[in-house]
Chains A and B, each alone.
Chain A
Amino acid sequence: MIMDSACSLLHSAHEDEREFEMGDYQGPVARWCAGCGDHSVLTSAQRLLAEEQLKPETTVFVSGIGCSSRFPHYMKTYGFHGIHGRALPVATGVKLTRPDLDVFVVMGDGDCVSIGAGHWIHAIRYNVDMVALLLDNNIYGLTKKQTSPTTPQGYRSNTQPRGSYLPAMNPLEATLGVTNASFVAQTAEWVPAHLFATLKAAHAHKGFAFVRILQRCPHFTPDMYAEAVKKPDIIEILDHPEGIRADGIDKVYKNKISHDPLNLNAARELAQDQSAIRLGLFFRDESYPRYEETRATNKRTAREKMDILNEEFDSYAV
């Protein structure tokens, strides 16, 4: 695409004839470590935007603080790199005010599951139409290897050098436990086709689409997902015609389990069961109420507002 002023002028005309390629969404070169799983998610997101032809100016990436939260800086869309743990309220405010914007939220595991946990639970329940990506490296990356709620029990960190004391929190289980959860999926950044198919399904979903992305941190936790990367056999793909199907992964990922994403109880059981790492769509149901729609009001012109306000004043008149 040619990003010139003629193009901007075109925008004001009714038809938008711009065509976007992946490069149109690429911001400055990402400054994550080499081998960091965040790169893969970034590429996948850029590919999704191109595939869906989302306008850069009406797409907003909101994040918190953490390595993963640098994400919006590397996109050429609007971005909001806010404060630690609070991406979801900001995204909610954006969407309540501008339902026309496409909103993506990028969070780390400390960001979402620890400091932002209160917002996370409520955002699931609000079910506002947005894509929420949890980039879960099971560790605090930016602050240099502290235990996160998703750090496996026994895993050593700088704050828990004798190993994490408690069993890890399972974000899928937690999400699936919240009333009004409408889309819950898990994918891994080292399976790009599955990652892409998942982002695409999440974006297509009307409502709050929660995606946990298993993400490698070569710097602090190089061993964390090493086994899963090497042994596709310990990964199980949730398969269903209504689920997420990634092209060309069947040869490597042979373990499949059929799971109907409308079956919440089965989803909870699969999320809870630790015998395999499962990728796929655990749950999706678009019939749940979306907060922004239940709260939608008719917009009024300034003059109309003044007329109604005058009526209001009548009841206070002396």
Chain B
Amino acid sequence: MKLPTVGEAAPSGREVRTHRVHDHSVEIVSDSGEGAQKCGQIFGSVSAKMGNGVWTVEIIPAEVEPPPRNPAGASGIRIRLGDAEVTNWGDETNLVVAFNEQALLGRHRLNALAPDATILVESMWATHPDPSIRAQWEAAMEELADRSYRIIEVPMEEECLTVVDNPRKGKNMFVLGLLSWIFDRDLERAREQIAHAFRKKSEEIYERNVQLLERGYGWAEEHLDFRVEVATQASDLPMVVMNGNEAVALGAVAAGLELAAMYPITPATSVSHMLGEVFEKYGGLVHQAEDEIAAAGVAIGSSYAGRCSFTITSGPGLALKTEFLGLAVMAEIPLVVVDVQRGGPSTGLPTKVEQSDLLAAMFGQPGDAPKVIIAPATIEECFHVMTTARRIAEALRTVVFVLSDANLATGVAPFPRPDLSAEWQAGPPDQRPIPEGLKPYSWDSRTGISRRFIPGQPGGEHTLTGLAHDEGSKVAYDSVINERSSAMRSRKIAAFQSTLLPPEVNGDPEGGDLLVVGWGSTKGAIEEAVERARSEGLSVSSLHLTFISPLPPGLKEIFQRFGKVMTVEINYSDKKDDPFITEENRRRGQLAWLLRAATLVDVDCWTRVLGEPLRPGKIVNAIRESIRSGGDA
């Protein structure tokens, strides 16, 4: 490792203690626009490259520029490092770097920080010329004093001013330097990562950022008395590191999808930013439509014309697409819909995670609209799901939902670099003549599957319609035809289900007291919680669903091996002891609702809508509580 060029050696006599841990969470929090996220992303990438398990989550205020120095405006990032794979954001933060005490207060008030957390906070506010700011500082310190935090003041601004004129544009790299020393990061890799992050900026900016990094490193080396060691384990596998939205975007390219139609909406938009940057190199197109309805229409028109296309959105946009999705189901047009879920209903919590769109995806279209719903559970799955989704959409001629969420969208984690295959790509539109006698909906009675006709195919001329229609796509109000075509659209889903394997039980497949069932981005947190609970001796296992429509086979049989089944989800459910709540009127977690209907098992649920990913520690509590109260929890 190259030694930094600034900073003196630690003064002799100062004892530096190194804490060796399996797992450590770091947060960098600031006002919006101070670059805390960039700092954390680089720190996360460097750590991943050095062989740590890493999960990062952005802390995003809803406004672009909330008022500065405001607890509600805390913006930043959490990076959880581990000596093994890290699959979720963990529980509480162990080390915080705060650009001001108000942002820090925001995190403290959300109980985001461990009671014994170490805090590095910008010291300039304590001695600020404005007395009201000094008073705020005093009050904050008082409020923070009720925990056993260790607070270390760092003259960030003063240090940065030795390198740059505007410290707002530099503190983040200084902080990267601090963290690099604390965690003994490879500075060469940090420089590389800075070069990558600022690749569109000038050489001068790169140089300045490196100077700041080194300044921070030097300051830490000179003044701090602790370091943290999270063992690294260089992986043999080539790895890549990215967030879930980037993975979806690259997955779309790998799948051979060529048109993404969208209308900007948080937290889905960054997929299109990413695609906007890279898609056209591949002959792809990101169409920013006039609204989400149009985006769905353009994607459907594109699919109809022979290319399976996709549209990407979030709750409010999904609501607008509803009618078009019904059309795609009815007229059997392949379509991939990526819904990056956020808090709802309505505009809800635009930047925060929720898993509340499951039932909307499933039942949101008036009329019976069977479709496929897939929920990737990891960032790696966000990449691979796109090829799967496209293939299913084309094979079944239907709508395939990919339900991601804000946790996956902004979470960054390394995963094995995919070994790309040209076979994942869609072929060119079929332009062969249609064989005589074949109709646009020549349904195979057993599977409901029929061959898609694509404009350009001679002999296939017909008018596709969202009205009830017969095999020839002729409008038909005949009751027998409507019953049959409804059956055919439904049959496809069942036929597809017959190709799925029963899900694997994580823990003890033989059974036990409790089976926790999850879906989507909560997998890492749930499995970590189950592992902890099992190590306490609790008889708990978990099962994670990737396919929700159709549900995989064998669920009922698996459920029966357990004393109790409980879903864990990030959506709202009534608690049993809430006023008025009875066994019958209780509104349950969305997956619980589906599982109860599908299996007739009395599936319980534990759900939270705190606007943050689930914490494994909280799930462990829920598991304990559920097992303690037995079948009656």
Partners in one complex: yes
Residues of A within 8 A of B (CB): 3, 5, 7-9, 11-12, 27-28, 55-58, 60-62, 65, 72-73, 75-83, 86, 88-98, 100-101, 118-119, 121-122, 295, 297-300, 302-303, 305-306, 308-310, 312-313, 315-318
Which stretch of B10-18, B91-99, B418-426, B531-539 is in the interface?
B418-426
Q: How many A-B residue pairs have C-beta atoms within 8 angstroms? Tell me.
A: 206
A57-B457, A76-B461, A316-B246 given; 4 more Cβ-contact pairs under 8 Å: A77-B461, A80-B464, A83-B323, A317-B239
Report the separation of the CA atoms of residues A260 and B284 in the bound assembly, to the nearest whole angstrom. 40
B239 with A91: CB separation less than 8 A:
no
The residue on A at minimum CB distance from B475 is A73
Would you list 15 pairs from A and B whose C-beta atoms are within 8 A, ordered by A residue? A7-B458, A56-B461, A57-B459, A58-B455, A73-B463, A80-B464, A92-B294, A93-B300, A93-B301, A94-B302, A97-B301, A97-B306, A101-B456, A297-B283, A300-B283
B307 with A57: CB separation less than 8 A:
no
The minimal Cβ–Cβ distance linking B304 to chain A, given in whole angstroms, is 6
A83 with B324: CB separation less than 8 A:
yes
Q: Mark B240-282, 1 if CB is under 8 A from A, else 0.
A: 1110001000100110101101000000000000000010111
The minimal Cβ–Cβ distance linking B283 to chain A, given in whole angstroms, is 4
The residue on A at minimum CB distance from B247 is A316
The minimal Cβ–Cβ distance linking B50 to chain A, given in whole angstroms, is 9
The minimal Cβ–Cβ distance linking A272 to chain B, given in whole angstroms, is 25
Say yes or no: is B584 at the interface (Cβ < 8 Å to chain A).
no
Name A315's contact: one of B196, B429, B461 (CB within 8 Å).
Answer: B196
Report the separation of the CA atoms of residues A298 and B258 in the bound assembly, to the nearest whole angstrom. 11
The minimal Cβ–Cβ distance linking A210 to chain B, given in whole angstroms, is 16
The minimal Cβ–Cβ distance linking B568 to chain A, given in whole angstroms, is 30
Report the separation of the CA atoms of residues A312 and B275 in the bound assembly, to the nearest whole angstrom. 12
The residue on B at minimum CB distance from A305 is B282
The residue on B at minimum CB distance from A101 is B455
Chain B contacts for A297, CB-based, 8 A: 280, 282-285
The minimal Cβ–Cβ distance linking B166 to chain A, given in whole angstroms, is 28
The minimal Cβ–Cβ distance linking A28 to chain B, given in whole angstroms, is 8
Residues of B within 8 A of A (CB): 45, 48-49, 196, 235, 238-242, 246, 250, 253-254, 256, 258-259, 261, 278, 280-285, 287, 289-291, 293-307, 309, 323-324, 327, 414, 417-418, 420-423, 425, 429, 432-434, 436, 455-467, 474-475
Chain B contacts for A89, CB-based, 8 A: 289, 293-298, 301
Report the separation of the CA atoms of residues A138 and B253 in the bound assembly, to the nearest whole angstrom. 46
The minimal Cβ–Cβ distance linking B300 to chain A, given in whole angstroms, is 6
Name B250's contact: one of A73, A98, A309 (CB within 8 Å).
Answer: A309
A306 with B421: CB separation less than 8 A:
yes
- The CB with the most chain B CB atoms within 10 A, among A28, A97, A313, is that of A97
Chain B contacts for A77, CB-based, 8 A: 461
Report the separation of the CA atoms of residues A213 and B109 in the bound assembly, to the nearest whole angstrom. 64
The residue on A at minimum CB distance from B235 is A318
Report the separation of the CA atoms of residues A201 and B455 in the bound assembly, to the nearest whole angstrom. 24
Instruction: Tell whether A97 pairs with B305 under 8 Å between CB atoms, given A8-B433, A305-B282, A318-B414.
Output: yes
Report the separation of the CA atoms of residues A299 and B256 in the bound assembly, to the nearest whole angstrom. 11
B240 with A316: CB separation less than 8 A:
yes
Chain A contacts for B298, CB-based, 8 A: 89-90, 92-93, 96
The residue on B at minimum CB distance from A121 is B290
Report the separation of the CA atoms of residues A98 and B299 in the bound assembly, to the nearest whole angstrom. 13
A298 with B283: CB separation less than 8 A:
yes
A98 with B455: CB separation less than 8 A:
yes
Chain B contacts for A295, CB-based, 8 A: 285, 287
Name B261's contact: one of A93, A300, A305 (CB within 8 Å).
Answer: A93
B48 with A12: CB separation less than 8 A:
no
- The CB with the most chain B CB atoms within 10 A, among A9, A11, A298, is that of A11
B460 with A78: CB separation less than 8 A:
yes
Name A91's contact: one of B301, B327, B457 (CB within 8 Å).
Answer: B301
Name A101's contact: one of B290, B305, B309, B474 (CB within 8 Å).
Answer: B305
Chain A contacts for B296, CB-based, 8 A: 89
Instruction: Tell whether A313 pairs with B417 under 8 Å between CB atoms, given A93-B309, A98-B429.
Output: yes
The minimal Cβ–Cβ distance linking B429 to chain A, given in whole angstroms, is 7
Name A316's contact: one of B242, B284, B304, B436 (CB within 8 Å).
Answer: B242
The minimal Cβ–Cβ distance linking A67 to chain B, given in whole angstroms, is 13
Report the separation of the CA atoms of residues A88 and B235 in the bound assembly, to the nearest whole angstrom. 51
Report the separation of the CA atoms of residues A7 and B278 in the bound assembly, to the nearest whole angstrom. 43
